[in-house]
Structure 1
């Protein structure tokens, strides 16, 4: 069996989905996008030509360690890392270059191939439930081709912290006029961002033990979700 119930599931009206490493493998997407970005920055600012993808990741981790709120907003974290390093190296027009680099990155970052079985799954679920996307990443549901299945999508931004803070869940609830958090089931691959974030909000949580593990791995599950699945297609049987 590809799913387990850990706590009693209450009636569900809303399904909220994480995106990266839940609906598709994000590692190859990011590997391509980050290398593109390194090449772009080296072309625009030769002073940065010696910084590798791995070194940019290390710099991001340093910035994230200094600011928990930035750590939950990948777009803001990436931009802040650019700005810090550009300033440190004396590059001119820091803000403009950072904005241009982020715009270029977003184009490549959203070049995601969604498997047909995911399209089929989302289409079936959308017939019964209201679907929303709640992701700490910067994938755009319309650019990656799944926007038609979702009623709303929420990402971190000014005044809106990423998961496991509850800000995005609260914003999503406003968008869809959610009567009570318990009517929502959040589905995601991360035991902290997704499971703890949903439970803190008062929603039900489903942990997807995704095969698409990020390079740094994932932490252990320490908060008990309502259910867990080993295969995303198990949602059809579970729900």
Structure 2
């Protein structure tokens, strides 16, 4: 795909700017330790930290109305664990605070911060996330004009309205907004369906050829890291993930 006029860029966060799984695993391990210390009977319900994820998934299946509210789902699953363990459910909010604080400890991909610095000097940037990461806590907020979350808006990707809200936040027409993300359905098809341009970030090379051929039918840019995006938008050839020069 050849990019059209790009006046602003919106970014997904998890698995686009940093790997999602390590931060959640760290947060669940922190939450597990907190619960064992402050509500010891939860050990019978949560014998290991990774059982927290299974309990959360189980709670989500019982509450499809909360599918896009990650905070409510996590709080509900913590309360459930405390109830099952016959512990004090008033500990729920404090337990969630421990989880949430650890959740914001992310490790940016090598190319992410240099790319954001280069891009933010040239384009308004807006973050668009279905998750609960907070750029003010993870770092990187200085590069963005605004962060739009599914929970705050009550609208989640791939719905067109959240992308249109990003265009308004950047003060551009949707056709002039380029959305960058790792999830082909939520980010790429969602953005294209809303009238935006899209760049699919594929950091891993293990995708099936058949899937890539299917995706190739959609008019989007495919990039392996954000330095490629910078070059596509006029950056110098020496920009690379390993040796990123900001000019």
- TM-score by shorter chain over 0.5: yes
Match of 1:75 in 2: 71
- Does structure 2 conserve the Cα–Cα contact (< 8 Å) formed by 1:14 and 1:131? yes
Number of aligned residues: 224
Where in structure 1 do 4 or more consecutive aligned residues deviate above 6 Å?
A: none
Match of 2:86 in 1: 90
- Does structure 2 conserve the Cα–Cα contact (< 8 Å) formed by 1:83 and 1:98? yes
Q: TM-score, normalised by structure 2?
A: 0.78
Matched residue of 1:10: which SS? coil
Deviates more, 1:191-200 or 1:125-134: 191-200
Deviates more, 1:183-192 or 1:60-69: 60-69
Matched residue of 1:11: which SS? coil
Match of 2:53 in 1: 57
Matched residue of 1:202: which SS? coil
Q: Note if 1:32 corresponds to 2:31.
A: no
Q: Which runs of 5+ in 2 are unaligned?
A: 234-247
Q: Note if 1:189 corresponds to 2:168.
A: no
Residue 38 of structure 1: CA displacement? 0.8
- Does structure 2 conserve the Cα–Cα contact (< 8 Å) formed by 1:72 and 1:163? no
Higher relative contact order (Cα pairs below 8 Å, separated by 6+ residues): 1
Alpha-carbon separation, structure 2, partners of 1:193 and 1:103: 28
Alpha-carbon separation, structure 1, partners of 2:62 and 2:103: 25
Q: TM-score, normalised by structure 1?
A: 0.81
Alpha-carbon separation, structure 1, partners of 2:187 and 2:72: 19
What are the superposed Cα offsets for residues 58-91 of structure 1, whole Å, 9 maximum, x if unpaired? 2222233344553333223212222333334433
Matched residue of 2:137: which SS? coil
- Does structure 1 conserve the Cα–Cα contact (< 8 Å) formed by 2:12 and 2:129? yes
Q: Note if 1:233 corresponds to 2:235.
A: no
Match of 1:108 in 2: 102
Matched residue of 1:182: which SS? helix
Structure ranking higher in helix proportion: 2
**Greater Cα radius of gyration, structure 1 or 2:** 2
Q: Which runs of 5+ in 1 are unaligned?
A: 214-219
Residue 208 of structure 1: CA displacement? 0.7
Match of 1:147 in 2: 141
What are the superposed Cα offsets for residues 32-66 of structure 1, whole Å, 9 maximum, x if unpaired? 11101111122222221231232221222223334
Q: What is the root-mean-square deviation of aligned Cα atoms in Å?
A: 2.6
Match of 2:16 in 1: 22
Match of 1:216 in 2: none
- Does structure 2 conserve the Cα–Cα contact (< 8 Å) formed by 1:42 and 1:48? yes
Aligned pairs for 1:126-205 (under 5 A) are 126-157=120-151, 160-178=154-172, 180-205=173-198
- Does structure 1 conserve the Cα–Cα contact (< 8 Å) formed by 2:130 and 2:151? no
